[in-house]
Amino acid sequence: VEVVRTDFKFSEEEELFRKALIEFCERYIAPVWVELDEKGGGIPPELYKRCAEQGITSIIYPEEYGGMGGTFTMACIAGEVLGYYDPSIAIPVGTVVVTNGWTAILTFYGTEEAKSEILPKVAEGTGFFGIATTEPQGGSDIPGIKTRAVRKDGKWVINGEKAYISGVKEVLDLSWGGGWFLLAYTKPELLHRGQTAFAFLAKKDGEVVPGFEHTLYEDWGRCGLSCGGFTLTDAEIEDKYMIGKEGHGFYHTMEGFNLARIILSATTIGSARWALDQAKEWITTRKLFGRPISKFQNISYRFAELYAKLEAARLAVYRAAWVADQIYVEKKPGWKRTDLNVPASIAKMMGPETCHEVYEQVLKWYGAYGYTRECPVFRGHHGTWSYIIGAEGAQDVQRYIIAREVIGREYVRWE
Ligand SMILES: Cc1cc2nc3c(=O)[nH]c(=O)nc-3n(C[C@H](O)[C@H](O)[C@H](O)COP(=O)(O)OP(=O)(O)OC[C@H]3O[C@@H](n4cnc5c(N)ncnc54)[C@H](O)[C@@H]3O)c2cc1C
């Protein structure tokens, strides 16, 4: 479907949602984000619960599971607002991005039993639900995963190792628990067509499941959200936790990445907007040679350039969210799920990369002060950098997807 223009204005409902979130963030997020980033150790359960009570962990799924029955546009609004108030994007990723992206896939393809068990817990803020595909040998190579699920005595027995997974400490700290959309091979001989997705709960009803052992990493950015790894040794999963059909896991993973990438990109837009607002204040008050440095045109013109690039990236993000809404929320005839591949990858390319360009420049405008820990701007730079590194899919993988879809698979794929 050709998309040239969407409605450029938020609806009244979206605008009310945005304003309520701004008030919420000014009260609960702005005062704590620096301390959380400094201290590390994950999102405190009380704060996660507060965010959930505000509705932001459960925007997409229907009210019958405790959700808001909202749209991907609303999820992006939440991502952008939270990204502005926690520019390290730890809280927005932990409460808006992974939760909404991957509960959406559970909502679309999970069993009734799994949805009724997990979704209300995420909505009330006692449970977390994220994504676990990456393994130590490489995150981009999804067909290269080694985790295996084998059928035994009416259950699935899983062995494997997942690495660089967001939310490990949150799952363990929250009172009910939670887990991840987990990808494993059920028929390795079929390559990616032999991969199956499960809702793997590492902890539920307050108990950690047998066979789960975790480790936590010491990241240098986005420290307010934990990142860890885990091994599964003969961990058992019941049939009801299979997401979609056996052998469809790879495709659901790609769909989930499309959705999470859009919401993530919205958080980087929010973070970069915060950085530009900080910069505006700085360049208009910092005086050199008897005038504010904004009078130097290398500074004000570059500001204008970054502002324009950010607006373009922002439009790309909301355009992708709008496409996601046509496909998954409105279920408009004529749209295919794969229609989201290019818009989502454009959003993921432009959001984090424009954000990176903004921070790189803004930090230079701050001079030596920007290089001190007292100036919080570096925290936004460090936190959003994780999405240049590759969280929610490496940047060049986005280029690959766009090239493959636009130039043609036969000219781009190397298999
Ligand atoms: C803070 C953080 C949080 C994360 N949270 C999660 C999580 O919750 N769940 C989860 O499953 N994973 C998570 N990840 C892992 C993330 O998904 C991976 O980092 C990502 O998929 C890239 O994998 P990799 O890091 O192993 O890099 P690799 O896949 O080893 O890539 C290395 C380099 O090769 C390039 N490359 C790879 N393939 C191609 C290609 N086909 N074409 C061109 N270039 C290519 C990449 O661009 C990259 O520069 C997280 C990562 C970080 C940093």
Q: pLDDT tens digits, residue range 191-204?
A: 999 999 999 999 99
Q: Is 28:50 a contact under the CB 8 Å cutoff?
A: yes
Q: Is 106:129 a contact under the CB 8 Å cutoff?
A: yes
| Residue 291 backbone dihedrals phi, psi, to 5 degrees | -150, 155
Query: Ligand 1: which residue has its CA nearest to atom 41?
Result: 397
Q: What's the gap in Å between 150 CA and the centre of ligand 1?
A: 26
**In the chain, pLDDT over 70 holds for what percent of residues?**
100
Question: What local confidence, expressed as pLDDT, does residue 7 receive?
Answer: 84
Question: What local confidence, expressed as pLDDT, does residue 73 receive?
Answer: 98
Pocket test for ligand 1, best of 98, 134, 145, 384 (most atoms within 8 A of CB): 134
Query: Ligand 1: which residue has its CA nearest to atom 2?
Result: 391
Q: pLDDT tens digits, residue range 214-262?
A: 999 999 999 999 999 999 999 999 999 999 999 999 999 999 999 999 9
CA–CA distance, 394 with 140 (Å, rounded to integer): 7
Query: Ligand 1: which residue has its CA nearest to atom 30?
Result: 138
Query: Ligand 1: which residue has its CA nearest to atom 46?
Result: 394
What pTM does this model have?
0.97
Assign 3-class secondary structure to the chain.
CCCCCCCCCCCHHHHHHHHHHHHHHHHHCCCCHHHHHHHCCCCCHHHHHHHHHCCCCCCCCCHHHCCCCCCHHHHHHHHHHHHHHCCCCHHHHHHHHHHHHHHHHHHHHCCHHHHHHHHHHHHHCCEEEEEECCCCCCCCCHHHCCCEEEEECCEEEEEEEEEEEECHHHHHHCCCEEEEEEEEECCHHHHHHHEEEEEEEEEECCEECCCEEEEECCCCCCCCCCEEEEEEEEEEECHHHEECCCCCHHHHHHHHHHHHHHHHHHHHHHHHHHHHHHHHHHHHHCEECCEEHHHCHHHHHHHHHHHHHHHHHHHHHHHHHHHHHHHHHCCCCCCCHHHHHHHHHHHHHHHHHHHHHHHHHHHHHCHHHHHCCCCCHHHHHHHHHHHHHCCCCCHHHHHHHHHHHHHCHHHHCCC
Q: What number does the ligand 1 atom closest to the CA of 221 have?
A: 1
Residues 6+ apart with CB under 8 A from 150: 156, 157, 158, 159, 186
Q: What's the gap in Å between 346 CA and the centre of ligand 1?
A: 17
CA–CA distance, 54 with 365 (Å, rounded to integer): 36
- For the chain, the C-alpha Rg in angstroms (whole number) is 21
Q: Mean of the pLDDT values across residues 367-390? A: 96
User: Locate tokens 């043609």: which residue?
Assistant: 408
> Which string of b and e fits 100-118 if b means at least 16 CB within 10 Å?
bbbbbbbbbbbbeebbebb
* Helices 98-109 & 249-285 angle (0-180, nearest 10): 160
Average pLDDT, the chain: 97
CA–CA distance, 42 with 223 (Å, rounded to integer): 7
Q: What number does the ligand 1 atom closest to the CA of 140 have?
A: 29
Q: What's the gap in Å between 397 CA and the centre of ligand 1?
A: 9
Q: Mean of the pLDDT values across residues 138-150? A: 95
| Residue 405 backbone dihedrals phi, psi, to 5 degrees | -75, -35
Q: What's the gap in Å between 229 CA and the centre of ligand 1?
A: 14
Region for 137 from its dihedrals, namely left if φ exceeds 0, alpha if ψ lies in -120 to 50, beta otherwise:
alpha
Query: Ligand 1: which residue has its CA nearest to atom 49?
Result: 394
Q: What number does the ligand 1 atom closest to the CA of 227 have?
A: 3
Q: What's the gap in Å between 175 CA and the centre of ligand 1?
A: 30
CA–CA distance, 218 with 395 (Å, rounded to integer): 23
Q: What number does the ligand 1 atom closest to the CA of 134 have?
A: 11
CA–CA distance, 41 with 198 (Å, rounded to integer): 27
Q: pLDDT tens digits, residue range 22-66?
A: 999 999 999 999 999 999 999 999 999 999 999 999 999 999 999
Q: pLDDT tens digits, residue range 267-326?
A: 999 999 999 999 999 999 999 999 999 999 999 999 999 999 999 999 999 999 999 999
CA–CA distance, 270 with 89 (Å, rounded to integer): 9
Asked whether residue 415 carries a pLDDT value surpassing 90, the answer given is no
Residues flanking ligand 1, CB < 6 Å: 130-134, 138-140, 164-166, 219, 222, 227, 386, 389-391, 393-394, 396-397, 400
Query: Ligand 1: which residue has its CA nearest to atom 38?
Result: 140
| Residue 333 backbone dihedrals phi, psi, to 5 degrees | -60, 145
The burial of 198, by beta-carbon neighbours within 10 Å (0-12 exposed, 13-18 middle, 19 or more buried), is given as buried
Query: Ligand 1: which residue has its CA nearest to atom 16?
Result: 391
Q: What's the gap in Å between 394 CA and the centre of ligand 1?
A: 5
Q: What's the gap in Å between 22 CA and the centre of ligand 1?
A: 32
Q: Is 232:135 a contact under the CB 8 Å cutoff?
A: no
Q: What number does the ligand 1 atom closest to the CA of 389 have?
A: 53
Residues 6+ apart with CB under 8 A from 242: 111, 156, 196, 197, 198
Q: What's the gap in Å between 113 CA and the centre of ligand 1?
A: 32
Q: What number does the ligand 1 atom closest to the CA of 133 have?
A: 11
Q: What's the gap in Å between 388 CA and the centre of ligand 1?
A: 9
Q: What's the gap in Å between 378 CA and the centre of ligand 1?
A: 22
Q: What's the gap in Å between 201 CA and the centre of ligand 1?
A: 23
Q: What's the gap in Å between 370 CA and the centre of ligand 1?
A: 29
CA–CA distance, 288 with 286 (Å, rounded to integer): 7
Q: Is 380:271 a contact under the CB 8 Å cutoff?
A: yes
Asked whether residue 264 carries a pLDDT value surpassing 70, the answer given is yes
Query: Ligand 1: which residue has its CA nearest to atom 40?
Result: 397
What are the structure tokens assigned to 79, written together?
């991502």
Apex CA 367: angle with CA 364 and CA 370, to 5°? 85
Q: pLDDT tens digits, residue range 351-371?
A: 999 999 999 999 999 999 999
